[in-house]
Amino acid sequence: MSPDIALIAFGFVAAGALCSYLMSTYGGTGSRNLLLVLALFAGTGSLLATGTIEMAGRYGFSTLLALFAFTMVFIFSPLIFYPIRRLNEIIRFASLVDFLTFRFRGKAVATIACSCLIIATVPLFLAQLLALSSLHDFLFDGNGWLFATLIVATILFINWRSIEVGVAESLRWIMAAAGLLLLLALAISALVSVNAIFGGIGEMNQWVVDSGQRLIVQRMDSSYSLFIIFLAASFALPVNFSIVISETISDRQAGITAWAYPLLMLLASIPVFPLLWSGLAVQSASPLQDYLFAIPALSQHPLVAGLGAASIILVAIALLCSLSLMLARMVLNSFILPNKALHQQPNLSRWINRHLFVISSILIIDCALLGQIIKGRSITDLYLVGFAGLAQLTPGMLASIYLPRISRKGFIVGLIGGLSLWLATLALPLLFGDWSWQPPGADSPLVFGMENWETWAFEALLVNVVLSVLVSTLGGMDREQRSFARLCMVDNIYIPARVQLSHNSVEQMRDSLRKTLGSEADTEIDQVLRNLDLDYRETRPAALRKIRDALNSSLTLRFGVLAAYQIMEESLPLLTPARQEPDDIYQIESVLAIQGDRLTGIASELNKLRVHHREVLDNLPIGIVSLGQSGEIIKWNSTMARYTGIDGDAATGALVSDLPEPWQSAIAAFLAADENSRDNLPIELAGTTHWFSLQKSAATSSDDLILLLEDQTNSVLLTQNAINNERLASVGRLAAGVAHEIGNPVTGIACIAQNLQHETEAGEIANSADLILSQTDRINAIVQSLINFSRGDRAYHNQLQPVSVRDVAEEAIQLLSLSSPQISEQSRQEAKQQFICLLDPDIRIASDPRQLVQVFINLLSNARDASSDNSPVEISCERDGPRLKILISDQGIGLPDAIGDRLFEPFVTSKEPGQGTGLGLWVVFNLVKNLGGEISLSSPAKNSDRGTTAELLFNLHAD
Amino acid sequence: MLNYRLVAVLIFLSSVVVPLASRWAIEPQGSWFRPFVVWALIVFAAYILQRHRKIDES
């Protein structure tokens, strides 16, 4: 019994625990990096503290190759862990079993993968217990029950505390402290042992040469087997997987493991051989696996021996705690939660924690009991068998990210085949003793057990791989499997599909989630909204999809893939399966914008092209909106954002009906209309009218719709100004005629007024007053007519009203007669008579009378100017369904062919220079278009061999 | 995307460096710590590679 060493060991254990607490409380970023690597280092458990010295004695330098292989997974983590880590950012796997279940789908996968992991890690549990048992035997005499009970109680206490405060973080600190203690123990033990036994390193080197140990350790006979088994096991070791893909580990920290972890393993393996040789030199009776504390104790260094013993206690406890909790989580996620009615559980978190503790406790206690029957076994053997078992999960893991053709059936059959062989040939013989079988016809029996461990470990792995490939090749894969296989591929970027949700608001989602999750639904939704920076008012389909994805991710981390899938299917089902929906283009854009620099080769070039096209679209001076089949906005370019004041991020993913007014009405009305383009649509923005032209067209490769908006306000205002100017010019032309027209009644009034001065009879005075009134009425009519015409502020502000076409035409004729060059009354009457108005006074169209007057004045004026011989100009009309066709026909010179195609363009005229501005027909065209009508000119005139007919088409008034 | 540089390094290591390094490390007349030197060089190479690599380059 070595009470001093025991006391010192427990002192160091206490110091390690204190160190763990201090690092977790006061540690900065630097210590967090160290924490990660030390925790990974301690994840190997008692292998480095005990097993490697035994392995070094048994396999020489092959041990180094095995340990190096164990670190290779981190050196090449960009090929293995990073792809899973990237997928984990979206799906968030709780464990390796969850990842495999997600990839291969189905409860059977979860059940078998979880069972395999539990069975394969049992030897690792036993190895830790054996290391502790061996330590107990060295430190204390007598029965080890008390020690075993103390250790189990400690583990249960740590597990309970870890579950209470957060498993991952809490255990990581304990493991880091254990790793630090182990590294110190190995280095110091080797140093003091070499100094005490050889007198120095030089002397040890000489002893190594003299004793022939140099040649002994150089043997590499088992190197290949050890290399492959350690390498394969490192992929599937739960501690490695959970730490590297943990979301609390930053990408940079994960990158540090590529060199820091191999460095720590190197530092830990350097003392192994000096310790081994020290023990061999003094011919220690202790087993090789006890050298870490036995040799310093033999060299009279109880402090160092205590340190070694403490490091073994701490790493063994740390690994037992973390492994038991990880396995408990896997059992819960794979076996219990998928069958549990979660909404019936009042306090789900507490229920989960309680079950985690119970399951982990059962695992620990079972293994402690099992440990009683393996006393005297080698820790190295337990690790070799355990690693060979863990290696069975590696083919499936690698297939998940590199081989999309491996099917669920292939994975399951391969795993069962490999695991069965491993169980029969290695695991069971290790526990219950080797056995052999004489195959019929064979010369020698097959021996199952550690004697042929290399053969059986390889055979089991080979059976697994061959069966997986064979079954996958012969059998097929359903659509779901193919979809998830593609999703997990190493070069895949996860893009959520543009799925149709069955809920239209966050509140609906919450209410539905409550049915399966109870009160936990509120917590989950609140958390997700907080993370996404959204709120309960959100109704945009794209945002709701993001919320659903985030909920799925959060639930997967809490309850595992199976339970989360069930909850989502029951509470938030999709209207159509995700794989039938197109990818969310907006999400592709977002993902490529973030991860574009990962692309290489042609993908990178294509991405540059994408960025260029995106910039072109964004910077086009016209607004572009792309709409999905469901009416969801997929693209909202920066010009559109400028026009509307609605940010692209807010609009993208929303429905048109979610847009604020007036855009919602304007766009929705245009989308509902049959027409593909609309010009000069007036929209009130901040109290000012803007005019937009809209166009729409369907995308050829999808059902998406593209909407183009162009601000035509400047153009419309210019046109409006030109129309006003043209009208004012007309007013100017009319002014002389008006003055003359007013002059006649004024003269009449003056004469009557002179007569009135001498009139005394009441009857005559009244008669004169009537005459004056009639003359003033005439003046009023003329002035009012001019005023009406000169008012131009209403152009493009359409308030269509029932208008009598005949009244408007007659008013135009009246005004035109004022501008007649012949200013005598007779001439004016003749001018009026030139226009033959055949319009029905009862016919009314929906129009603006002032703009219509201007149209008539221009057209009649052109007709009159073209009719030099005073030939009649006929104004007639005919119904054309719901529209009225107005025809203005003259017998003039007709239209010259040279300008036939450009009649409605500005500054195009057939008149002599100085006779016309060339704006008349352009103004008419714009006014008619603005009034919702159409105009065309044809020459010769209808039913004639000369002249011109102007054909106007307007909507009849509904009444 | 697949990191071709890493794959190239892997092929170079397995086909050239490993055979040469292993032969040198276990030469009968060599020192016992030679394998550790090889290991240390690999760690250094991993450090250099990691320093120039962003996490997203997988």
Residues of A with Cβ-Cβ distance to B53 under 8 angstroms: 78, 255
Across residues A400-427, what is the average pLDDT? 94
- pLDDT of amino acid A387: 95
Domain that holds residue A700: 620-711
**Residue of A254, A266, A490 with shortest CB distance to B43:** A266
Residues of A with Cβ-Cβ distance to B7 under 8 angstroms: 79
- pLDDT of amino acid A777: 82
**What's the rounded Cα separation, in Å, for the pair A618 and A612?**
10
A198 found inside a domain: yes
Chain A residues interacting with chain B (CB cutoff of 8 angstroms): 61, 64, 68, 75-76, 78-79, 82-83, 86, 205, 208, 213-215, 217-218, 220, 251-252, 254-256, 258-259, 262-263, 266, 269-270, 273, 490-491, 595, 597-601, 603
A440 found inside a domain: no
Please name the residue of chain B whose CA is at the shortest distance from the CA of residue A214. B32
Q: Which of A64, A203, A259, A606 to mutate to test the interface with B (most CBs of B within 10 A)?
A: A259
Q: Where are the alpha helices (DSSP H) in chain B?
A: 4-12, 18-25, 34-51
B19 found inside a domain: yes
Q: Let me know whether A670 and A796 are in one domain.
A: no
Contacts of A237 (CB under 8 A, 6+ apart): A43, A390
What SS3 class is residue A941?
coil
> Per-residue pLDDT tens for A578-591?
555 556 666 677 67
B11 found inside a domain: yes
Nearest to A562 by CA among A146, A14, A48, A95: A95
Confidence grade of residue A716 (pLDDT, cut at 50, 70, 90)? confident
**Residue of A258, A595, A603 with shortest CB distance to B46:** A258
Across residues A576-604, what is the average pLDDT? 67
Nearest to A549 by CA among A593, A498, A505: A498
Contacts of A80 (CB under 8 A, 6+ apart): A73, A235, A398, A401
Average pLDDT, chain A: 84
Q: Let me know whether A703 and A728 are in one domain.
A: no
Residue A328 pLDDT greater than 90, yes or no: yes
Which of the given ranges, A58-72, A332-346, A615-629, A924-938, has the highest pLDDT on average?
A: A58-72
- pLDDT of amino acid A28: 60
B57 found inside a domain: no
Q: Exposed (0-12), middle (13-18) or buried (19+): which is A108, by Cβ within 10 Å?
A: middle
Q: Let me know whether A682 and A565 are in one domain.
A: no
Domain that holds residue B29: 4-51
SS3 readout for A593-636: HHHHHHCCHHHHHHHHHHHHHHHHHHHCCCEEEEECCCCEEEEE
**Residue of A86, A254, A491 with shortest CB distance to B2:** A491
A328 found inside a domain: yes
A96 found inside a domain: yes
Q: Which of B1, B9, B47, B54 to mutate to test the interface with A (most CBs of A within 10 A)?
A: B1
Number of domains in chain B: 1
Confidence grade of residue A206 (pLDDT, cut at 50, 70, 90)? very high
Contacts of A784 (CB under 8 A, 6+ apart): none
Distance (Å) from the alpha carbon of A637 to chain B's nearest alpha carbon: 29
Q: Let me know whether A865 and A930 are in one domain.
A: yes
* The pair of three-digit structure tokens given for residue A869, joined into one six-digit string: 């011989």
Please name the residue of chain A whose CA is at the shortest distance from the CA of residue B47. A259
**What's the rounded Cα separation, in Å, for the pair A557 and A329?**
10
> Taking CB atoms and an 8 Å cut-off, how many pairs form between chains A and B?
85
Residues of B with Cβ-Cβ distance to A606 under 8 angstroms: none
Distance (Å) from the alpha carbon of A277 to chain B's nearest alpha carbon: 12
Q: Let me know whether A758 and A689 are in one domain.
A: no
Residue B56 pLDDT greater than 50, yes or no: no
Residue A43 pLDDT greater than 80, yes or no: yes
Contacts of A839 (CB under 8 A, 6+ apart): A805, A806, A809, A875, A876, A877, A886
Q: Let me know whether A703 and A754 are in one domain.
A: no
Could you tell me the end-to-end alpha-carbon distance of chain A, in angstroms, rounded to an integer? 115
Quick check: B12 contacting A, CB < 8 Å? no
Across residues A164-185, what is the average pLDDT? 82
DSSP string, A324-341: HHHHHHHHIIIIIGGGS-
- pLDDT of amino acid A380: 92
A599 found inside a domain: no
Please name the residue of chain A whose CA is at the shortest distance from the CA of residue B7. A79
Which of the given ranges, A232-246, A295-309, A796-810, A883-897, has the highest pLDDT on average?
A: A295-309
- pLDDT of amino acid B55: 47
Residues of B with Cβ-Cβ distance to A602 under 8 angstroms: none
Number of domains in chain A: 4
Quick check: B33 contacting A, CB < 8 Å? yes
- pLDDT of amino acid A456: 93
In what side-by-side order are the strands of the sheet with A705-711? A633-636, A623-627, A705-711, A688-698, A677-685
Which of the given ranges, A17-31, A662-676, A821-835, has the highest pLDDT on average?
A: A662-676
What SS3 class is residue A392?
helix
Across residues A356-376, what is the average pLDDT? 87
Give just the sign of the alpha carbon dihedral A447, A453, A455, A457: positive
Residues of A with Cβ-Cβ distance to B46 under 8 angstroms: 75, 258-259, 262
Residues of A with Cβ-Cβ distance to B8 under 8 angstroms: none
Across residues A881-905, what is the average pLDDT? 81
SS3 readout for A282-323: CCCCCCHHHHHHHHHHHCCCHHHHHHHHHHHHHHHHHHHHHH
Confidence grade of residue A551 (pLDDT, cut at 50, 70, 90)? very high
Distance (Å) from the alpha carbon of B55 to chain A's nearest alpha carbon: 6
Q: Let me know whether A233 and A84 are in one domain.
A: yes
Give just the sign of the alpha carbon dihedral A328, A333, A339, A344: positive
Q: Let me know whether A644 and A750 are in one domain.
A: no
A695 found inside a domain: yes
Nearest to A374 by CA among A118, A127, A153: A127
Neighbours of A150 (CB within 10 A): 13
Q: Let me know whether A192 and A72 are in one domain.
A: yes
Please name the residue of chain B whose CA is at the shortest distance from the CA of residue A256. B50
What SS3 class is residue B36?
helix
**What's the rounded Cα separation, in Å, for the pair A100 and A112?**
10
Q: Let me know whether A542 and A628 are in one domain.
A: no
Nearest to A875 by CA among A783, A785, A809: A809
- pLDDT of amino acid A736: 67
Residues of A with Cβ-Cβ distance to B49 under 8 angstroms: 258
Burial letters for A154-179: b for 16+ Cβ neighbours within 10 Å, e otherwise?
ebbebbeebbeeebbebbbbbbbbbb
Could you tell me the end-to-end alpha-carbon distance of chain B, in angstroms, rounded to an integer? 6
Q: Let me know whether A700 and A734 are in one domain.
A: no
Q: Which of B29, B32, B34, B48 to mutate to test the interface with A (most CBs of A within 10 A)?
A: B32
* Bridge partners (DSSP) listed for residue A681: A692
In chain A, the percentage of residues whose pLDDT exceeds 90 is 27
A922 found inside a domain: yes
Confidence grade of residue A121 (pLDDT, cut at 50, 70, 90)? very high
* Bridge partners (DSSP) listed for residue A889: A874, A949
Residues of A with Cβ-Cβ distance to B42 under 8 angstroms: 68, 75, 262
Q: Which helix (H) or strand (E) holds A660?
A: none
- pLDDT of amino acid A722: 79
Residue A400 pLDDT greater than 80, yes or no: yes
Contact A85, A254 (CB under 8 A): yes
Quick check: B15 contacting A, CB < 8 Å? no
Specify the amino acid at residue A323.
L
CATH of the domain at A316: 1.10.4160
Please name the residue of chain A whose CA is at the shortest distance from the CA of residue B48. A259
CA B9 to chain centre: 8
> Per-residue pLDDT tens for A749-780?
887 788 788 777 888 788 888 878 877 887 88
Please name the residue of chain A whose CA is at the shortest distance from the CA of residue B33. A270
Distance (Å) from the alpha carbon of B56 to chain A's nearest alpha carbon: 6
Which whole-number Å values give the CA distances from A959 to A819, A853, A876, A882, in the listed order? Answer: 35, 21, 21, 11
Distance (Å) from the alpha carbon of A25 to chain B's nearest alpha carbon: 28
Residues of A with Cβ-Cβ distance to B56 under 8 angstroms: 86, 251, 595, 597-598
Distance (Å) from the alpha carbon of B16 to chain A's nearest alpha carbon: 17
Could you give the angle at which helices A453-474 and A223-236 cross, rounded to 10 degrees?
Answer: 50
Confidence grade of residue A454 (pLDDT, cut at 50, 70, 90)? very high
Backbone phi, then psi, for A842, in 5-degree steps?
Answer: -85, -10
Contact A218 B28 (CB under 8 A): yes
A896 or A272, which is more confident: A272
Contact B58 A598 (CB under 8 A): yes
Residue A240 pLDDT greater than 80, yes or no: yes
* The pair of three-digit structure tokens given for residue A508, joined into one six-digit string: 């609906």
Q: Let me know whether A706 and A720 are in one domain.
A: no
Which has the minimum average pLDDT: A288-292, A823-827, B19-23?
A: A823-827
The DSSP symbol for B16 reads: I
**Residue of B10, B55, B57 with shortest CB distance to A76:** B10
CATH of the domain at A804: 3.30.565.10
Residue A30 pLDDT greater than 70, yes or no: no
B47 found inside a domain: yes
Nearest to A189 by CA among A270, A292, A278: A292
Contact A599 B1 (CB under 8 A): yes
> Per-residue pLDDT tens for A843-871?
888 888 878 888 888 888 888 888 776 78
**Residue of A259, A270, A598 with shortest CB distance to B50:** A259
Residue B57 pLDDT greater than 50, yes or no: no
Nearest to A855 by CA among A927, A919, A908: A927
Across residues A416-436, what is the average pLDDT? 92
Distance (Å) from the alpha carbon of A263 to chain B's nearest alpha carbon: 6
B35 found inside a domain: yes
| Among A376, A397, A429, residue at a domain's last position | A376
**Residue of A83, A263, A270 with shortest CB distance to B58:** A83
Distance (Å) from the alpha carbon of B28 to chain A's nearest alpha carbon: 6
Quick check: B4 contacting A, CB < 8 Å? yes
